[in-house]
Structure 1
Amino acid sequence: MIAVDLPGFGESPPLTGEVSIATLTDSVADFIREQGLDGISTVGQSMGGRIVLELARRSVGGDTVALDPGGFWSDREVAVFSATLRPSIAAVRVLRPVLPALLGNPVGRTVLLAQLSARPWALSRETVLPDVRGLADSPATGAAMDALTKGPKQQGAPAGSVPGRVTIGWGRRDLVTVPRQAARAIELFPDAVLHWFERCGHFPQWDAPHEATSLILDSTA
């Protein structure tokens, strides 16, 4: 398994030019080609889910698993997404020094993560802290939000045009990419199989880790 940091996230330097879903996808496609990984299965969640679907649309990679992907919202839904998540990211940055303490408390987790998890109080600090710190620390977070909210919506792939199997997983209680968007995703990717995560929010790897792992392994075997 290879875990890729997008440009401007983790230890990867930011893009020097435009930051968009297209250019972020270009960077992943270039990495796949440069490393001789043609046909590799790809897995992503949220913006990463959108990027792996875009790779499949471009016929890059092999089997694809997209968990709660962005890009399938209506104009009103993307406006709500932007208006609610941007202040949350700003708050996390302000609270960066005290995040370990806040996320170590069930009440703190519930307050900070209610939009992202169906059961934030039940999560552990060790599970959520790396992802929350990533939102706070990554220099490309703002640019990525602009790419998601101000750029074009996700295009689809006609039946028979994707390079492998496509599986789309969606949390029934997702408050970020709301569940009704799943129907649009399947309409645009008619070859895809839809899997519902019950009692799950935007992060299946948080709320249903064993189920998410099994889905990924079964869909890319």
Structure 2
Amino acid sequence: MPRLFWDHAGHGEPLVLLHGIGSTHADFTALRPALDDRYAVFAPDLPGQGASPAVTGVPSVAALADAIEADLDDLGLHRVHLVGNSLGGRIALELAARGRALSVVAIAPSGLGLPPERLYEGALLGGTRMVLRSSRRLIEPASRSRWGRTVLLTGLRSMPWRASRPEALALRDGIAGAGDFWRLLWHAVLSDVPTDLRIPDIPVVLAQGTADVLAGGQTPRFRVLIPTARFTPLFGAGHAPQSDRPAAILALVDGAVAAARAAGTRSAPEPLGAVRGAPRGD
């Protein structure tokens, strides 16, 4: 039985969506209708966020990847297509290095920020946590209007008025409500420095919004560790651009999956285990 909360919908090749720190699986709401039509989509709340329990011990990237990997085993999924944003992108690359990926689309993965960039990122995320934590009861009413969602998601989206209510509410259950936020921020984001990402010969796409005000220019630096990866800018998009440029992201996912198919990579069968949470669209 999986330990984490997973939202599941669709049929076909398995696709796992990994959100960033301070959010939940709902951060991918804008992409889900199209992805659910094409793939068997599995979207967890990362450990210590949303409805998922925290890991025991230090919540490092390796520990978070261990938790995802254990649940993939319970679900009967050996190798999957991975899409991750921010911390989720970093975890996706870690899982790929462990041989669990068919393809990877990593959007603004964390881990290669310079010291001043890490200080800025920590201050921005920490300050946002304190503000939203103190006004958590206001997030739900604010999520009902376009103006409220714009206020809540400015800094993460370049076009926050396009975001849906579930995307805004993800902040309530993620950055405002996550009991393990500070440990995750320190151990999984600010202290994390990937040094060994020997990823098998699979399609790896690195993407970052050109209007990303949180992560600086760290995404292209991953090409030093992953020389076979392809970098694609998402023009006009923010740090978490799922509703800024959904069509562009879908094209990247479909392209990576098609490349994996062309290379003859075999996908896992339909999952064998039970999924916690409320499956959608089945």
TM exceeding 0.5: yes
Match of 1:166 in 2: 204
Aligned sequence identity (%): 29
Give the letter aligned to residue 8 of structure 1: G
What is the total number of aligned residue pairs between the two structures? 217
Give the letter aligned to residue 204 of structure 2: V
Once the two structures are superposed, residues 113-164 of structure 1 have per-residue CA deviations (whole angstroms, 9 ceiling, x without a partner) of 32212122x3244253232123222222222111234423123435xx4252
Counterparts of 1:84 and 1:6, CA distance in 2: 21
For the 8 Å contact 2:110–2:189, the answer to whether it is kept is no
| Equivalent runs, 1:70-219 vs 2, <5 Å | 70-120=110-160, 122-135=161-174, 136-158=176-198, 161-162=199-200, 164-178=202-216, 180-219=217-256
Counterparts of 2:163 and 2:69, CA distance in 1: 34
Higher strand share: 2
Higher helix share: 1
Deviation at 1:208, TM superposition (A): 1.0
Q: 1:13 to 1:148 in 2, by over 3 A?
A: closer
Counterparts of 1:132 and 1:101, CA distance in 2: 13
Match of 2:12 in 1: none
Counterparts of 1:87 and 1:93, CA distance in 2: 10
Counterparts of 2:170 and 2:147, CA distance in 1: 18
Give the letter aligned to residue 118 of structure 1: S
Counterparts of 2:69 and 2:55, CA distance in 1: 14
List runs of 5+ in structure 2 lacking aligned partners. Answer: 1-40, 259-282
- TM-score when scaled to structure 2? 0.71
Q: 1:90 to 1:182 in 2, by over 3 A?
A: same
Counterparts of 2:173 and 2:201, CA distance in 1: 31
- TM-score when scaled to structure 1? 0.88
Counterparts of 2:190 and 2:163, CA distance in 1: 34
Counterparts of 2:61 and 2:204, CA distance in 1: 19
Task: Name which structure has the greater RCO, CA cutoff 8 Å, separation 6+.
Answer: 2
Match of 2:64 in 1: 24
The match for 1:56 among 88, 92, 96 is 96
